[in-house]
Structure 1
Amino acid sequence: MQNNKVLPRYEMPSDGQGFIILYLNSITSNATNLIFRLDDHFSGNDSSRQPASLKVYDYYKPERSCMKQYGIGRNHGQEIKYKCDDGSDQCQCMHSQCIKQVNQELFDMALKVNQASPA
């Protein structure tokens, strides 16, 4: 666990992979923006990346929590819709809203064909 002037405490694995835990003294209804830099050594393509999970909870009452997932690439900066079973950390993308690489490629191709067609 480490301390710094901006964040009271944070921790991450010694190999720097897997997760980061940020400790905040309080969270209000006002927006809280945290900006940090990560070294990315991922060698695959964006479509094979798993979404990142962000979980906020009360340290002393962990049942009071909220979790969101965020993606990158074509889904950069967009929240990914998901559902979780009650009492479980196992979440799945909602079937009708899952990212479908092939469908997106077909949509892009149809859009190009439509734009190239004379009116």
Structure 2
Amino acid sequence: MKNLYTINSWAFIICVLISFTVYGAIIALPILGIIQIIISVKIGINFKHLPKSIKISSFIYLLSVVIALIVIKIIVLNQLLIFFIWSLMAIILAGFHLAITHFISKYNTTE
């Protein structure tokens, strides 16, 4: 669990830097999403050992992802506008996921 933050932070930094171009974002953000899904599964496996604050943050993150997916599905605007909204929401949610893994790494070092 201690290495999750390091892996997530490097993946986040690399993918955000690649995402400054449209085609880079098309490639990088789904890869970052897959990495964070794998990390979330690892967190889910050890969920009962985490403190309540991290559990609440994880629930808020999951709820935010679901709401973001619903909003993107409902919005029927210009395709380019949808792409930019999707990219911005993906980066914000990835940052939130990065914060959660940071809290977990701090929690694991204090144990």
Query: Normalized against structure 1, the TM-score is what?
Result: 0.30
Greater C-alpha radius of gyration = 1
Higher helix share: 2
TM-score, with structure 2 as normaliser: 0.32
Structure number with greater CO (CA < 8 Å, separation at least 6) is 2
